[in-house]
Chain A
């Protein structure tokens, strides 16, 4: 019954035998022991399991591992490089865009794809853009700020203030 597949994760090719019903998120977490990708629901609503598949943000609980055969996956573990953090990671840290950290990997990966297609999104575009990812802790204000910060950094623009603003 098992199928042999080759999936490239964060630049490393993994050839593994899997049950056809194995979910991509379980391949990543259980078989390959990369636990940065999380599971928050069983109905494809929360987005905690979001990864990039050939550059496109997908919910890895909704993709079978066999469907990822021959594809290239980026998980949170693949965001930083030898040069340092990815701008989205820096944006999240500098703007207090995470509390418990559980939704954070999926949220950041969705944001990376969003910024690829729309390098300078408005607040409304960001809110709609991340509406497939649930966060229960932050109230989203600072996630919006973090994505704007990352966008500015990736465009080479002046970075917005990361100080909290009060009325």
Chain B
């Protein structure tokens, strides 16, 4: 049961407050970037490469320029004059804005057409003629690493291979020694395929450069408007666009999931064109462009090994990764973490040695990859540990729930130092798994499964007990382009006791307008409905690093609480003055200070705020405002246990998810309704890669499923009826004990589903299948084993 300290009227933490932002969305009054229409606005559309790897011999723009409405065609050669044809990525790599010589992946931007209407721009794109000299692409990262592989990044002087970086963590020697002598070692090659966030709104922008005032207003689909402003200034400062002349506005965003963190070439071209012509330029991607060219996620080839005893004690883990980054490392991870937080792959288990390494590779595929609803490679890590743990359980013939219970880090071991260097802040893994097992009826299901197996029926039960790592992050380790990963809140309370609060983050559907208001309501007792929340305008909001990787509550949410507490301290001083007592004589209850022992002598927060403007103590600064930039002392470690039950048709191998129970622990809960909504949505984004989504490239680098017709985003039919619940283990270091929840379900669901499917197929000799697991993939695996007989 969630305890609330505030009344329903105040609506602080723990209340399932209905969302404040919904009023506009349900009435068609949301304000997304494609809804912006400015006087004289031009439209931009992009010519894209049909080839994965080709030299550009010639771009003929003559016909395009004759298309009615077409104003200009921009090529890499045009941008080269301003040194804008290449741009830096957040990871210190470089990426083309528009190519001058070579295209590196199919659907890469080749030229941009500027026109007076959307339709004219599209006509212009059709009329641009490009002559290519097609080359043989390298699409397989393992082949790209071979000695005789052609070097793809010939733009980099002296580059002699396709290797980008090597990363490693843990104790290599100790882990090797353990694996040599361990009683049981299990090993599996696990691939997490290339997928896409596929937010229903694509990316886009309106770049509005005002020549008279030398000022750029950039409306864009970005999850990190402040960082983007700095990036624009770094990229375009040399042409006079310095940071004070740039305003980035991130309006309502139709889903982000990490895909709206990077800077895409389209944004930069739109800015360049607006800068040159002095008119607003709108660029909105089509869905197919969005899928085919924007940053992908995952694409990790993992060799996972687990060592332990015959009695089922896990002793150590070893992961080796080949990371396919496409032609540029344009992921958006913190600078010091090229493989993100993959080192959380030790999971929820108590052992003392681990070693993990990763090598990143260039191929002729789109650049990336983004942290898709994931705190930088956590999804990959969790999938590896939870799959290999199941394989270990299978090897030692122990029930996977029992094996997990036997190996979990115990509640009293927290804070727990992991073998890869993290300090897990808190956890109670046994409680979460027990709750999930009780809710699903685990023992009865295992009995049912045994009965069904006797009849040859395929029923599987899969568990995932994941540990997350979110809230990037503490400034000693975490930065992007050198900017520390703090986040911010600014609260202004008006004389009548109503407030506006602004943040450095940016909601894309997470419900910040409601949850941030609830945090402030909790701390100050001002009703949440009287607190307006604003984000996304760099001219008004305090600087912050934005919303991704479940970091908003751990960072900006914490900033809100700390800023509100500064105001409560001021309120105490004013109340003492008004009540003519000392501060020590006052007690706080949500919404008012009262005199100890004389509760009738009190001042409400509204009376106190009014006094801050009308009758404040001499010597005190007037007004009632506070700002805080929160630098978290540690990351937060949400966790959970998920159990999936599947039935597989023994003829067609159609997979039906019968039950899915998700128990999440995200610490203290701000709004149970919103947390549950986040979990529902994340689970559907977990079943998506587990059973449906994967980009497929042929050997010529053609993407074979780059539209919504064949890239299978789950509908309401594929999405099961989720059953969710929680345990509550507050974060000991977060001001309100919260941890963040958005990505947990996306991270935790895929291994639960994969484990369930593999469990169902165990009697047929299957021990592993890579996601997405489809009926065809099962049929193929069984055919290889000789289990499936040819159809007569």
Interface residues of A (CB under 8 A from B): 19, 21-22, 26, 29-30, 33-43, 45-46, 48, 75-77, 79-80, 85, 89, 92-94, 96, 98-105, 108, 123, 126-128, 130-144, 163-164, 166-167
Contact = CB atoms under 8 A, between A and B. Distances in A.
B97 to A, nearest CB: 24
Contact of A35 (B35, B672, B673): B35
A61 to B, nearest CB: 10
Kindly name the residue among B34, B200, B286, B709 whose own CB sees the greatest number of chain A CB atoms within 10 A. Answer: B200
Contacts of A134: 200, 708, 713, 715
Given A93-B22, A139-B684, A42 B288 contact: yes
Interface in B418-469: 435, 439
B27 A131 contact: no
A37 B35 CA distance: 10
A21 B120 CA distance: 12
Contacts of A98: 22, 25-26, 509
19 contacts: A19-B119, A35-B31, A40-B254, A43-B707, A45-B709, A46-B287, A85-B27, A89-B26, A99-B255, A99-B678, A100-B253, A102-B32, A131-B716, A134-B715, A136-B198, A136-B199, A144-B716, A166-B672, A166-B725
Contact of A166 (B31, B678, B724): B724
B681 interface: yes
Nearest to B676: A164
A131 B715 contact: yes
Nearest to B438: A167
A96 B709 contact: no
Contacts of B715: 127, 130-134, 140
The 8 closest A-B pairs by CB, nearest first: A36-B28, A101-B25, A102-B254, A100-B509, A139-B680, A99-B509, A76-B28, A45-B708
Nearest to B24: A101
A141 B288 CA distance: 28
B255 A163 contact: no
Kindly name the residue among B19, B197, B677, B723 whose own CB sees the greatest number of chain A CB atoms within 10 A. Answer: B677
Given A46-B708, A134-B708, A166 B726 contact: yes
Interface string B351-368: 000000000000000000
A43 B28 contact: no
A167 to B, nearest CB: 4
A28 to B, nearest CB: 10
A38 B288 contact: no
A136 B288 CA distance: 16
A90 to B, nearest CB: 8
B716 A140 contact: yes
Given A45-B709, A101-B252, A104-B26, A167 B439 contact: yes
Interface string B233-273: 00000000000000000001111010000000000000000
Contacts of B683: 139
B550 interface: no
B700 interface: no
A92 B681 CA distance: 15
A127 B199 contact: no
A48 B200 contact: yes
B18 A164 contact: no
A27 to B, nearest CB: 12
B586 interface: no
A96 to B, nearest CB: 5
Contacts of B663: 167
B510 A102 contact: no
A34 B28 contact: yes
B27 A96 contact: no
B509 A101 contact: yes
B202 interface: yes
Q: How large is the interface on B (under 10, 10 to 19, 20 to 34, 35 or more residues)?
A: 35 or more
A146 to B, nearest CB: 10
B29 interface: yes
A166 B678 CA distance: 14
A140 to B, nearest CB: 4
Contacts of B28: 34-37, 75-77, 105
Contacts of A36: 27-30
Contacts of B18: 93-94, 96
B508 A130 contact: no
A137 B286 contact: no
B724 A138 contact: no
Contacts of B29: 36
Contacts of B255: 99-100, 102, 136-137
Nearest to B440: A167
Given A93-B23, A140-B716, A144-B716, A100 B508 contact: yes
Contacts of A167: 435, 439, 661, 663, 723-725
A6 B144 CA distance: 59
A78 B31 CA distance: 17
Nearest to B37: A33
Given A101-B21, A136-B684, 7 more contacts: A38-B32, A41-B708, A85-B27, A103-B254, A131-B717, A132-B715, A139-B679
Contacts of A135: 200, 716
Contacts of A75: 28
A22 B316 CA distance: 62
B19 to A, nearest CB: 7
A126 B717 CA distance: 9
B509 A41 contact: no
A76 to B, nearest CB: 4
Interface string B191-205: 000000111111000
Contacts of B198: 136
A72 B719 CA distance: 34
Contacts of A77: 27-28
B658 interface: no
Given A42-B707, A96-B18, A101-B25, A136 B685 contact: yes
A138 B677 contact: yes
A139 B722 contact: yes
